[in-house]
């Protein structure tokens, strides 16, 4: 019987999906009958009363808003958008009987009047970058209402674009899918999906932003619509890629590159830059559902220290709370959280606590009783009062159903309530509640279950009549579900910033909507301890990076099920370079800390964790680039080599910044693998062996070794080996990898790693240039930018060469040969090392 039900369910789902794919029956927007021209926008009036507004925000950024059969609304609000004050770019308008053309310095937008078709072209070459396949559409006849989450909440809207024969698609945030999304079809509806595998869709997050790439030129489309949305990149048609949503406006932003990096920078400008988290967030993190009591947490930390394994952060999962009541501590398990945290901080370890949105439903007053849902009469005032519930209820901050009843989902505490985070006062209140953690020495907050997950029903149906304040619009769950986590993270981030203005907030989230990078970092939820799940790490991290979320990571070793030493090691060989490196495990699965599978595996894991700390100056410099420019740290090769078609669907290797290429092993019992190296010179990180790029090479990859290559032309800034951030003075060593012309360059970014002062110029950026032509080697260190002054220290330059120098000059003065690793020059292991005092001034080093 149950098999039959499953079959019926599957057939129904297939039917629903099939219908979801078919947008061809939708009503098309009418032809243009007239238009008006404003300072930065053109409004098209259509024969059917529809309106389309094109707004020129920047030479490479045009917004398209369409309203079907009625004028574009004067209300214009999005939780994702960070910037609305754009300096209008120069643009011109020309007309012909058939077309209206808007031209900025970079994009030519040609609007065909009848039928209404928009195409975007390169303003210089006039080549079409992206063009409508048919006019924008709306579901006037209710063709798709049967598949909609809440037909009453909106009408399906869609836009279809011509599919290029060789067009590749990237982005869409967190998808359990490969890098190139061509021929894929995706849904956005934040969903709690434990144990997801490749193809599961949707999962936790909604980032309706994608990139198209054809013939080396890229564009981006951000469909800013929080309703359940659909993206189809040629899955069901050879002609078109389309996107649509179950309500709201047809509202998208068109970005023209042609470089992906430029698009990501504009996207960051539009939806917000990731602020820098504290530097220790790049340290190694350990978690477990659940470490308790406090002595267990202390034991884990002392194991790390005794075993000489680096650790900066330990996480407390839901068991630290008193009966899963957020903003409380369990008096038996954690009787003195402040003292525990102080002890851990002395060992260089910070604590992060999980905070779920479910507030235990615990009425104790007459008011509360009255407000209680009659479904739950048994929940009387049998326990002592819970201040969070009491306050939220009194202030009316919790979500209600349409009929005015309190919405009572079930989460970890059983019956619970959710805060309406669209209310500004509720966000402020929620943020201030974090005093319960900060006052006890907690260093960061982990937001989970914020899809929001409801054990009554994970599809959202139980929440369908929940109403949110939404700036007075009192809108439906259909509109607000996908922004719930964004707003919870915002409340958390703003609360932490208010409570501790001299510290950078550090928030981690599971669910999200576009713009999340302004408030939170993320991890990819409940993965499996399997090789397939590990292989998904790379396309998922790189895709998130291409979707505006640079600070990403996955539970190292996988969350669900039992792994083994080999899987754990290979997993660290991916994550030791991910921004978020945290080993985390389910409550009922086999232990997974680095030592759990024996010394052989532990020793290899130690090697990679130590290397992560050595590479921190490089990682932090690249993270700051992500903060400033929106270009992520953990990159697919296509981001750095978008003219190289060999990179277009390459997702079993990745790059950190521009300079480090890593090709992990993603299958068991494999000790060799093929690696694609793009054009140029490459150095094997371990052996210094040189490779000529533009080819696939076969390299050794025993369990001890993840194949890693450094780009010729780069200088890697390294720091000291440490067991936690701040353990030692960060003395930089610059390792030089010259290109074919003998040149190399880099820059090093540093700041205090803790405070927001970097936003006031309190940082140091030092540029370095190396040139080694014939026998004349020169290194120039520029005068640093910014006002940050590191502690007194030396800086070393490491150049691989068999030659012994005749003489070394620093600013024209002879540098002596060094004794015992002191200042001066020395030779070691085929390398020339020059150590100088880092006095924050420009220098020139010459070697003859």
Rounded Cα gap, residues 486 and 422, in angstroms = 10
Nearer to ligand GLC among residue 194 and residue 790 (C-beta): 194
Nearest partner of 755 among 436, 442, 434, 506, judged by Cα: 506
Q: Which of residues 251-280 bind ligand GLC (CB under 6 A)?
A: none
Rg (CA), the chain: 28
Residue listed under structure tokens 């499953």: 6
To the query of whether residue 502 is one of the catalytic residues in this protein, the response is no
Active-site hit among 27, 448, 454, 602: 448
Residue listed under structure tokens 């809207």: 157
Nearer to ligand GLC among residue 480 and residue 527 (C-beta): 527
Q: Collapsing DSSP states into helix, strand and coil, what is residue 187?
A: strand
Structure tokens at 54: 């094109």
Nearer to ligand GLC among residue 353 and residue 468 (C-beta): 353
- With b for 16 or more beta-carbon neighbours within 10 A and e for fewer, the 229-242 pattern comes to bbbbbbbbbeebbb
Q: Which of residues 358-377 bind ligand GLC (CB under 6 A)?
A: none
Nearer to ligand GLC among residue 53 and residue 583 (C-beta): 583
Nearer to ligand GLC among residue 134 and residue 584 (C-beta): 584
Q: Which residue is nearest to ligand GLC (CB)?
A: 289
CA angle 163, 165, 167 (to 5 degrees): 65
CB atoms within 10 A of CB 16: 14
Q: At what angle do helices 387-395 and 424-433 cross, to 10 degrees?
A: 170
Nearer to ligand GLC among residue 289 and residue 691 (C-beta): 289
Rounded Cα gap, residues 104 and 650, in angstroms = 34
Structure tokens at 263: 């698009």
Please report how close the Cβ of residue 524 comes to ligand GLC at its closest, in angstroms: 10
How would you list the strands of the sheet with 250-256, edge to edge? Answer: 32-37, 41-46, 51-58, 61-67, 250-256, 217-223, 209-214, 168-171
How would you list the strands of the sheet with 285-286, edge to edge? Answer: 521-522, 507-509, 444-447, 350-355, 313-316, 285-286, 582-583, 555-556
CA 226 vs. chain centroid, Å, equals 18
Please report how close the Cβ of residue 560 comes to ligand GLC at its closest, in angstroms: 9
Task: Catalogue the E-assigned strands of 589-653.
Answer: 634-635
Q: Please give the size of the binding site for ligand GLC, defined by CB under 6 A.
A: 10
Rounded Cα gap, residues 437 and 414, in angstroms = 23
Q: Which of residues 490-519 bind ligand GLC (CB under 6 A)?
A: 510
- With b for 16 or more beta-carbon neighbours within 10 A and e for fewer, the 298-327 pattern comes to bebbeebeebebbbbbbbbbbbbbbebbbb
Q: Which residue from 150, 174, 526, 838 is in contact with ligand GLC, where contact means CB under 6 A?
A: 526
Active-site hit among 526, 593, 652, 653: 526
Q: Which of residues 146-205 bind ligand GLC (CB under 6 A)?
A: 194
Strand 555-556 versus strand 582-583 pairing type: parallel
Rounded Cα gap, residues 245 and 231, in angstroms = 9
Q: Which of residues 440-469 bind ligand GLC (CB under 6 A)?
A: 448
CA 408 vs. chain centroid, Å, equals 31
Please report how close the Cβ of residue 191 comes to ligand GLC at its closest, in angstroms: 12
Binding mask 568-607 for ligand GLC (x = CB under 6 A): ----------------x-----------------------
Please report how close the Cβ of residue 577 comes to ligand GLC at its closest, in angstroms: 22
Q: Is 29 in the site for ligand GLC (CB under 6 A)?
A: no
Binding mask 280-299 for ligand GLC (x = CB under 6 A): ---------x----------
Active-site hit among 27, 174, 451, 750: 451
Check if the beta carbon of residue 548 is closer than 8 Å to that of residue 172.
Answer: no
Rounded Cα gap, residues 174 and 543, in angstroms = 7
Q: Collapsing DSSP states into helix, strand and coil, what is residue 428?
A: helix
Nearer to ligand GLC among residue 266 and residue 510 (C-beta): 510
Please report how close the Cβ of residue 512 comes to ligand GLC at its closest, in angstroms: 14
Nearer to ligand GLC among residue 281 and residue 677 (C-beta): 281
Rounded Cα gap, residues 185 and 201, in angstroms = 9
Q: What are phi and psi of 400, to 5 degrees?
A: -125, 160
Structure tokens at 684: 């094997």
Altogether, the residues listed in the chain come to a count of 848
Q: At what angle do helices 616-629 and 260-271 cross, to 10 degrees?
A: 70
To the query of whether residue 465 is one of the catalytic residues in this protein, the response is no
Q: Which of residues 740-779 bind ligand GLC (CB under 6 A)?
A: none
CA angle 196, 200, 205 (to 5 degrees): 85
Nearer to ligand GLC among residue 249 and residue 451 (C-beta): 451
Q: Is 525 in the site for ligand GLC (CB under 6 A)?
A: yes
Please report how close the Cβ of residue 202 comes to ligand GLC at its closest, in angstroms: 16
Please report how close the Cβ of residue 287 comes to ligand GLC at its closest, in angstroms: 7
Nearer to ligand GLC among residue 525 and residue 579 (C-beta): 525
Please report how close the Cβ of residue 586 comes to ligand GLC at its closest, in angstroms: 7
Structure tokens at 680: 């140029």
Nearer to ligand GLC among residue 65 and residue 510 (C-beta): 510
Rounded Cα gap, residues 294 and 314, in angstroms = 12
Q: Which of residues 315-334 bind ligand GLC (CB under 6 A)?
A: 317-318
Residue listed under structure tokens 């002595």: 295
Nearer to ligand GLC among residue 468 and residue 583 (C-beta): 583
To the query of whether residue 651 is one of the catalytic residues in this protein, the response is no
Nearest partner of 89 among 101, 76, 111, 107, judged by Cα: 107
Nearer to ligand GLC among residue 333 and residue 504 (C-beta): 333
Please report how close the Cβ of residue 213 comes to ligand GLC at its closest, in angstroms: 33
Check if the beta carbon of residue 585 is closer than 8 Å to that of residue 563.
Answer: no
Structure tokens at 760: 């006031």
Q: Give, as one character, the DSSP assignment of residue 91.
A: -
Rounded Cα gap, residues 308 and 242, in angstroms = 53
Q: Which residue from 354, 508, 626, 777 is in contact with ligand GLC, where contact means CB under 6 A?
A: 354
- Tell me which residues touch ligand GLC (CB under 6 A): 194, 289, 317-318, 354, 448, 510, 525-526, 584
Residues with catalytic roles: 448, 451, 526
């Amino acid at each position: 019987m149950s098999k039959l039900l499953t079959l019926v369910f599957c057939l129904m789902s297939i039917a629903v999906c099939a219908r979801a794919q078919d947008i061809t029956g939708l009503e098309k927007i009418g032809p243009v009958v007239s238009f008006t021209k404003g300072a930065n926008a053109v409004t098209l009036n259509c024969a059917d009363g529809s309106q389309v507004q094109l707004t020129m925000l920047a030479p490479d950024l045009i917004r398209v808003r369409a309203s079907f059969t009625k004028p574009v609304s004067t209300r214009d609000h999005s939780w994702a958008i960070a910037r609305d004050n754009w300096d209008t770019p120069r643009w011109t308008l020309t007309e012909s009987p058939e077309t209206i053309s808007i031209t900025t310095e970079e994009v030519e937008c040609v609007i065909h009047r009848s039928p209404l078709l928009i195409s975007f072209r390169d303003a210089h070459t006039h080549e079409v970058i992206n063009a409508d396949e048919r006019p924008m559409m709306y579901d006037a006849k209710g063709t798709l209402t049967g598949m909609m989450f809440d037909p009453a909440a909106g009408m399906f809207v869609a836009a279809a674009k011509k599919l290029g024969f060789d067009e590749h698609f990237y982005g869409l945030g967190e998808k359990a899918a490969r890098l190139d999304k061509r021929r894929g079809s995706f849904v956005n509806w934040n969903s709690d999906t434990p144990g997801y595998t490749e193809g599961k869709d949707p999962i936790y997050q909604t980032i309706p932003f994608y990139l198209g790439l054809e013939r080396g030129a890229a564009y981006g489309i951000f469909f800013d619509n929080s309703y359940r949305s659909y993206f189809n990149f040629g899955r069901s048609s050879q002609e078109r890629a389309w996107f649509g949503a179950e309500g709201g406006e047809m509202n998208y932003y068109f970005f023209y590159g042609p470089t992906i990096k430029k698009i990501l920078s504009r996207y960051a400008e539009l939806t917000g830059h990731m602020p820098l988290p504290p530097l220790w967030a790049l340290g190694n993190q350990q978690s477990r559902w659940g470490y308790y009591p406090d002595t267990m947490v202390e034991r884990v930390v002392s194991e790390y220290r005794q075993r000489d394994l680096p650790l900066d952060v330990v996480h407390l999962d839901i068991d630290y709370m008193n009966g899963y009541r957020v903003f409380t501590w369990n008096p038996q398990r954690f009787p003195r959280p402040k003292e525990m945290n102080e002890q851990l901080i002395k060992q260089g370890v910070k604590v992060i606590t999980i905070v779920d949105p479910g507030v235990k439903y615990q009425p104790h007053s007459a008011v509360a009783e009255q407000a209680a849902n009659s479904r739950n009469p048994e929940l009387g005032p049998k326990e002592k009062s819970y201040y969070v519930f009491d306050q939220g209820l009194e202030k009316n901050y919790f979500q209600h159903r349409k009929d005015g009843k309190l919405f009572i989902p079930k989460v970890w505490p059983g019956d619970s309530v959710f805060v309406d985070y669209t209310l500004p006062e509720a966000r402020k209140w929620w943020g201030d509640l974090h005093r319960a953690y900060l006052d006890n020495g907690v260093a960061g907050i982990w937001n989970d279950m914020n899809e929001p997950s409801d054990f009554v029903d994970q599809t959202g149906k139980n929440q369908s009549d929940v109403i949110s304040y939404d700036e007075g619009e009192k809108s439906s769950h259909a509109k607000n579900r996908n922004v719930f986590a964004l707003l919870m993270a915002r409340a958390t981030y703003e609360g932490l910033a208010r409570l501790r203005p001299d510290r950078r907030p550090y928030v981690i989230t599971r669910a999200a909507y576009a713009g999340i990078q302004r408030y939170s970092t993320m991890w990819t939820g409940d993965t499996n301890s399997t090789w397939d799940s590990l292989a998904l790490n790379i396309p998922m991290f790189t895709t998130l990076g291409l979707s505006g979320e640079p600070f990403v990571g996955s539970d190292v070793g996988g969350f669900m099920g039992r792994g083994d030493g080999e899987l754990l090691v290979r997993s660290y060989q991916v994550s030791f370079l991910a921004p978020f490196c945290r080993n985390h495990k389910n409550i009922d699965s086999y232990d997974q800390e680095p030592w759990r599978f024996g010394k052989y595996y532990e020793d290899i894991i130690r090697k990679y964790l130590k290397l992560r700390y050595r590479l921190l100056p490089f990682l932090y410099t690249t993270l700051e680039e992500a903060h400033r420019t929106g270009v992520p740290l953990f990159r697919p090769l296509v981001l750095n080599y978008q003219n190289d078609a060999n990179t277009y669907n390459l997702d079993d290797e990745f790059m950190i910044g521009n300079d480090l290429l890593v090709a992990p092993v993603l299958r068991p019992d494999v000790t060799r693998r093929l690696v694609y190296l793009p054009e140029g010179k490459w150095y094997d990180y371990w052996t210094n062996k040189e490779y000529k790029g533009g080819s696939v090479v076969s390299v050794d990859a025993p369990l001890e070794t993840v194949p890693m290559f450094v780009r010729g032309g780069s200088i890697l800034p390294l720091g000291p080996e440490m067991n936690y951030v701040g353990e030692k003075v960060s003395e930089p060593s610059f390792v030089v990898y010259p290109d074919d012309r003998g040149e190399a360059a880099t820059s090093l970014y540093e700041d205090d790693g803790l405070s927001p002062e970097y936003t006031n110029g309190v940082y140091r950026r030092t540029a370095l240039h190396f040139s080694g032509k014939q026998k004349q080697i020169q290194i120039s260190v520029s005068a640093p930018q910014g006002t940050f002054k590191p502690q007194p220290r030396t800086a070393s330059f490491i150049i691989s060469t068999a030659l012994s120098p005749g003489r070394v000059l620093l600013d024209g003065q002879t540098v002596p040969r060094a004794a015992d690793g002191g200042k001066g020059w020395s030779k070691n292991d085929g390398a020339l090392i020059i150590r100088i005092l880092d006095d924050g001034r420009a220098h020139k080093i010459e070697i003859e």
